[in-house]
Amino acid sequence: MNKLFRFCTHLFLIFFVACMFVPVYLALVAASHDGTAMMRAPIPVWLGTDLWVNFKTVLTQGLLVTGGEPVGYLLLNSLIMALLIATGKIILALCSAFALVYFDFPLKKFCFVLIFCTMMLPIEVRMVPTFQVVAAFNWLNSFAGLTLPLMASATATFFFRQCFKVIPSELVDAAKLDGAGPVRFFIDILLPLSKSPMAALFIILFVYGWNQYLWPLIITTDPNMVTVVMGIRYLAGVADQLPEWHHIMTVALLALIPPCVVVLSLKRWLEQGLQA
Partner 1 sequence: MATVHLIDVTKQFGNNVVLDQLNLKIDEGEFVAVVGPSGCGKSTLLRLVSGLDTVSSGSVLIGEKCVNTIPPAKRDMAMVFQNYALYPHMTVFDNMAYGLKRRGLSKAMINTRVNEVAALLQLQQYLYRKPLALSGGQRQRVAMGRAIVRSPAVFLFDEPLSNLDFKLRMEMRHEIQKLHQHLKTTCLYVTHDQTEAMTMADRVVILNKGQIEQIGTPREVYQYPATKFVASFIGHYPMNFFSGTVDVQNHSIVTCFGITLPFLSFINALVASEEVLIGIRPEDIILSTSNTPGSIAARVLFIDDLGADQLLQVKTCTGDVMLYLRVPGNLEIASEEISLVLDVAKMSFFSKQTGVAFRVRSSPQAAGEAR
Residue with Cβ nearer partner 1 (129 or 181)? 181
Q: Cα–Cα distance between 190 and 181 in angstroms, integer? A: 12
The closest of 125, 120, 126, 149 to 137, measured between CA atoms, is: 149
> Least distance (Å) from partner 1 to the CB of residue 112?
22
The phi and psi torsions of 32 (rounded to 5 degrees) equal -105, 10
Smallest gap from residue 202 Cβ to partner 1 (A): 19
Q: Does 165 bind partner 1 (CB under 8 A)?
A: no
Contacting residue, 95, 117, 135, 171, with partner 1 by CB under 8 A: 171
- What is the distance in angstroms between the CA of the first residue and the CA of the last residue of the chain? 41
Q: Does 127 participate in binding partner 1 (rule CB under 8 A)?
A: no
- 188 sits near partner 1 (criterion: CB under 8 A): yes
**Contact indicator for 163, 276 with CB cutoff of 8 Å:** yes
Helix axes 154-166, 71-102, angle to 10 degrees: 50
Task: Output the smallest distance, CB 230 to partner 1, in A.
Answer: 42
In Å, how far are 34, 37, 193, 231 from 66, measured between CA atoms?
19, 22, 45, 7
Query: Of the two residues 111 and 193, which places its CB atom closer to partner 1 in the complex?
Result: 193
Which listed range, 5-13, 33-41, 163-171, 255-263, lies at the site for partner 1 (CB under 8 A)?
Answer: 163-171
Site residues (vs partner 1, CB under 8 A): 168, 170-171, 173-174, 176-180, 184, 188-189, 192-193
